Structure 1
């Protein structure tokens, strides 16, 4: 059992310093069907990954995939809640649109988001 997932698989490891200096962890879950796992990763690498790397306070992220629920989980570490929440919604929406465009190109889906958000929240280290 890894992070509450049975047979969860780590798909990417952005920063080996897990937990180092983290003030808050953004926690997201997306619907990612088995047959589209690599499509999801291509869309992430072409949108969120390069954008996050440039954000002040971004410390790293991990992406997991759970075959039982066919969900991707993203744990994004921030140096402070203020750094995370200071990012404008317009910037987030622009990157999300890039992500969805790449995801549609990869999956062949004509419209909408091939990997819809199932859950969003935050985790605080103890």
Structure 2
């Protein structure tokens, strides 16, 4: 499994709208691609300007196989629906390794 981690800065008063539109547009779109497993939204109760998105993919190859043109079209739809600026301030990739439990 591969984890895509995105930290996004948003206006504090618009955080809930961001989360709802993200689920409605981004999560719904990504769920149609092979390898998409799930997405979580993490909220820091002490920082209303930051939203952390955790996307789980079965493999890196499946994640990276999502066409760039599709990503750009989804982003355009999302930005238009959102109606306010948001900025990805961190983008990371993690591989998950599981070990057998005794």
TM-score class, shorter-chain normalisation, is 0.7 to 0.9
Higher relative contact order (CA 8 A, sep 6+): 2
How many residues are paired up?
96
5 Å matches for 1:1-126? Answer: 23-66=1-44, 67-68=46-47, 70-104=49-83, 109=84, 114-126=85-97
Q: CA RMSD in A?
A: 1.4
- Structure 2: tracts of 5 or more residues without a match: 98-102
Instruction: Give the whole-Å Cα distance in 1 for the aligned partners of 2:8 and 2:61.
Output: 24
TM-score (norm 2): 0.86
Instruction: Give the whole-Å Cα distance in 2 for the aligned partners of 1:37 and 1:117.
Output: 14
Instruction: Give the whole-Å Cα distance in 1 for the aligned partners of 2:2 and 2:20.
Output: 26
TM-score (norm 1): 0.71
- Structure 1: tracts of 5 or more residues without a match: 1-22
